[in-house]
Amino acid sequence: MDLAAKLALYGNSAKPEAKQSPVTPEKQGRLNPAGDDVRYGDANANAATDGVIEEKPAKEIPNDQDPGVTRPGQSLTFDNISLEPLGDGLYFRQIRFHSLELGGASLQKLLGQPMQYLDDLLPSGPRLSQAPGMVHRDEVLFLDTETTGLSRGPGNFPFLYGLAWFEGSSLVFEQYFLDGPGAEDRFHTRLSELLTSFGAICTYNGKSFDIPVIRNRFVLLGERFRAPPIHLDLYHFWKSMFGGYSRKKGPGKNDVLSSSASASASASASSSSSSVGGQRRASATPKSVEKRSFRQMDMERDVLGFVREDDLPGAQVPQVYFDYRKYARKERMAQVLHHNELDLQGLALLFLRAVAVVDERRNQEDLFRSGIARMFWRHGKAEEAKRILEELHSYGNYEESLLYSDRRLLALILKKRGQYESAFQIHRRLFEKYHCMHSCLEVARFQEKKERDIRAALGTVKSGLAFLEFRGADTESRIFKDLQKRRKRLQASVSEES
């Protein structure tokens, strides 16, 4: 389908002439009766969509002749999923999960952990009207969207919104389906009202995608999107827990850390592969790989021990929606709604695991403790980061690649805090053991500026250059040129002394 055909899909969806107050269905919102899983407009949300869908092009049918087109005021049904109308092409369903298990992660067990505040997950400094520790888990709104494209521009239309939050011992899930852009005005009113009840928003890569897309759609309608003051993006949190880059045991040609994903082991969510509630549990056996993917489903596998089965790939979602709008093909839309539901379930449990990891950092494996230290450092909590790194540094026997990069970070923190002698000792060992060229420069600086030993500094620089030349390093690299300049200047200083 070309761009013109896709744009034509929106021709029949007129925007309402005037903004109207939203029609809230009975039992909608954050107040719901207790009991078993409560599902509004959902006949059987757990049932899987089986069968292979033919990809033959369907004949285009006019809306007024197609018996499958939903009339205004009617429920909208996709296979076993039913959504209630809110008006103007906006449809809604709600599920209350009292029990939920994904792989080895249980909602009830994670909700029972003692730490329920977000202070350690957030940057330090005055950024809220209230104290950061006062943001409770029940004040976090989880959000995920399904859109018609992968760009962040205003032409990308979010047609499905998944929202969730904790209420007591339950997870409340709401899903809003926009049957065309004409439903946006009504939904934006509902979303704006809902956001005022929360102090934080949680997404997975939402800082880079979901929130910019939503903000652009608000601007397109002449509105302003007011998000909660705190945005916790779990993509960045879990990426930092697993390293986010390959830590090298020794220097490369120019001693620069690779930007590829971490080669660290996966989290120990479960120790073997088994079946829980009809879902396959993933083995959390540590794997050593060159690159790591940080998609949400990968973190669900590595952290929760959950592997999605028969899930619709996210890349296929836009085409399924276009087929529904143009050809009234509804057979795969249930998979889109189920995919979004899984995203919200996984997001909520990954959030609870993040809280547990940080709260129990003294009992976590070294991989996570290293990641927590780096997170604290980025958030401006240098003292917390220093304390963790010093504990790891004192062991001296944990994974070699972690030891190398963590010692570099510890030396950086010590130097910034004015503990130059301690930082020098760490850099000296890194240079001697790993031939780290950044540490070579730091050692030479300390010897020249603090110890006033120019000859020792010159010897260190010559040793570093000799190693780089032996390894065939790029002579145009910054580190090589820096060492050459320093050697030239130090040689001149030695000549003057003589």
pLDDT at 6: 47
Give the pLDDT confidence score for residue 153 in this predicted structure.
Answer: 81
Helix 234-241, helix 366-378: angle, nearest 10: 130
More confident site: 227 or 117: 227
Instruction: Look at the chain and report how many structural domains it folds into.
Output: 2
More confident: 309 or 21: 309
CATH of the domain at 445: 1.25.40.10
Residue 267 lies in a domain: no
* Distant-in-sequence, close-in-space partners of 301: CB < 8 Å, separation ≥ 6: 103, 266, 282, 307
Same domain, 454 and 351: no
Round to whole Å and give the CA distance between 493 and 488: 9
* Cα 454 from Cα 55, distance rounded (Å): 74
Same domain, 348 and 383: no
**Average pLDDT in the chain:** 74
On the question of pLDDT at 255 being above 80, the answer is: no
Tell whether 105 and 235 lie within a shared domain.
yes
At residue 219's C-alpha, the angle toward residues 216 and 222, to 5°, is: 160
Q: 175 and 67: one domain?
A: yes
Lowest mean pLDDT among 50-64, 70-84, 378-392, 479-493: 50-64
Cβ atoms of residues 76 and 70 within 8 Å:
yes
> For residue 256, what are the contacts with CB-CB under 8 A and spacing of at least 6?
479
The answer to whether residues 340 and 487 belong to one domain is: no
Q: What is the mean pLDDT of residues 255-278?
A: 34
What average pLDDT does range 251-258 have in this prediction? 34
459 and 350 together in one domain: no
The band of 258, judged by pLDDT with boundaries at 50, 70 and 90, is very low
Residue 232 reports pLDDT greater than 60: yes
SS (H, E, C) the chain: CCHHHHHHHHHHCCCCCCCCCCCCCCCCCCCCCCCCCEEECECCCCCCCCCCCCCCCCCCCCCCCCCCCCCCCCCEEECCEEEEEEECCEEEEEEEECCCEECCEEHHHHHCCCCCECHHHCCCCCCCCCCHHHCEHHHEEEEEEEECCCCCCCCCCEEEEEEEEEECCEEEEEEEEECCHHHHHHHHHHHHHHHCCCCEEEECCCCCCHHHHHHHHHHHCCCCCCCCCEEEEHHHHHHHHCCCCCCCCCCCCCCCCCCCCCCCCCCCCCCCCCEECCEEECCCCCCCCCCCCCCHHHHHHHHHCECCCCCCCHHHHHHHHHHHHHHCCCCCHHHHHHHHHHHHHHHHHHHHHHHHHHHCHHHCCHHHHHHHHHHHHHCCCHHHHHHHHHHHHHHCCCCHHHHHHHHHHHHHHHHHCCCHHHHHHHHHHHHHHHCCHHHHHHHHHHHHHCCCCHHHHHHHHHHHHHHHHHCCCCCCCHHHHHHHHHHHHHHHHHHHHC
323 pLDDT band, cuts 50/70/90, is: very high
Same-domain pairing of 370 and 351: no
**Structural domain boundaries, residue 162:** 3-239+306-355
Residue type, 191: L
pLDDT above 90 for 392: no
In the predicted structure, residue 373 carries a pLDDT above the cut 50:
yes
Q: Are residues 372 and 336 in the same domain?
A: no
pLDDT at 36 over 70: no
Any residues with CB less than 8 A from the CB of 190 and at least 6 apart, and which? 22, 24, 86, 90, 176
The answer to whether residues 466 and 329 belong to one domain is no
More confident residue, 337 or 404: 337
| CB-based contact 234:354 (threshold 8 Å) | yes
Q: pLDDT at residue 134 above 90?
A: no
Whether residue 148 lies inside any domain: the answer is yes
* Average pLDDT for 382-388: 72
| 260 lies in some domain | no
- Provide the percentage of residues in the chain whose pLDDT is more than 90: 36
